Amino acid sequence: MRRALLLLFVLAVVLGGCLGGPVGSPTDQTSSQTTDVSTTTAAPTTPSELTEDDVQTLALDAERAAIRDRLDEYDEYGLGCCTASTEATVVDANATHYLVDVQVAYWYTATYEQGGNTTVRDEADGASQATYLVGEDGRATEWHGSATLSD
């Protein structure tokens, strides 16, 4: 059974054109609507109210917004779906901040003309990966620094 599933996955990748190609992209989407599977939570009002779940949600919400900004140029796109998962992990913390690694799954479809009369439809799915610094004020900012926080 496992071998059959692996063979089916490899076949889907090959038929998709390449590893970054349209594997598992939804084909029944007909609108340009963004599909968001997230639940937005308001930022806590005091630092003592921040929990690990809160900071994970804040970091995921920030990454979802960043993905929407990047994918806005495509015909159709959405969050969640297909070959990757959406997850967040607190990797470090100090008295005032948390570092959170996030991965957010997404898909998109682009249609364009090629060679005058040929309409090409590209479909793809994937996942973003980023690290966010979440402060005691509830703000999540993409982090490009070290993998640990100093006290």
Between the CA of residue 20 and those of 16, 34, 75, 121, what are the distances in Å?
8, 21, 18, 15
Average pLDDT, integer, range 82-91: 91
Kindly indicate the confidence band of residue 115, based on its pLDDT and cuts at 50, 70 and 90: confident
Q: Does 2 have pLDDT greater than 50?
A: no
Q: Does 24 have pLDDT greater than 50?
A: no
Rg over alpha carbons for the chain, rounded to the nearest Å, is 19
Choice between 44 and 67, residue whose per-residue pLDDT is larger? 67
Kindly indicate the confidence band of residue 36, based on its pLDDT and cuts at 50, 70 and 90: very low
One DSSP character per residue, the chain reads -HHHHHHHHHHHHHHHSSTTS-SS--S---S-PEE------PPPSSGGG--HHHHHHHHHHHHHHHHHHHHTTSSEEEES-TT---EEEEEEE-SSEEEEEEEEEEEEEEEEEETTTEEEEEEEEEEEEEEEEEETTS-EEE--S-SS---
What pLDDT was estimated at residue 45? 43
Tell me the whole-structure pTM to 2 decimals: 0.65
What pLDDT was estimated at residue 81? 80
Kindly indicate the confidence band of residue 71, based on its pLDDT and cuts at 50, 70 and 90: very high
Kindly indicate the confidence band of residue 106, based on its pLDDT and cuts at 50, 70 and 90: very high
Q: Does 33 have pLDDT greater than 80?
A: no
Tokens found for residue 149:
């926080």
Would you kindly state where each structural domain of the chain is located, as residue ranges? 26-142
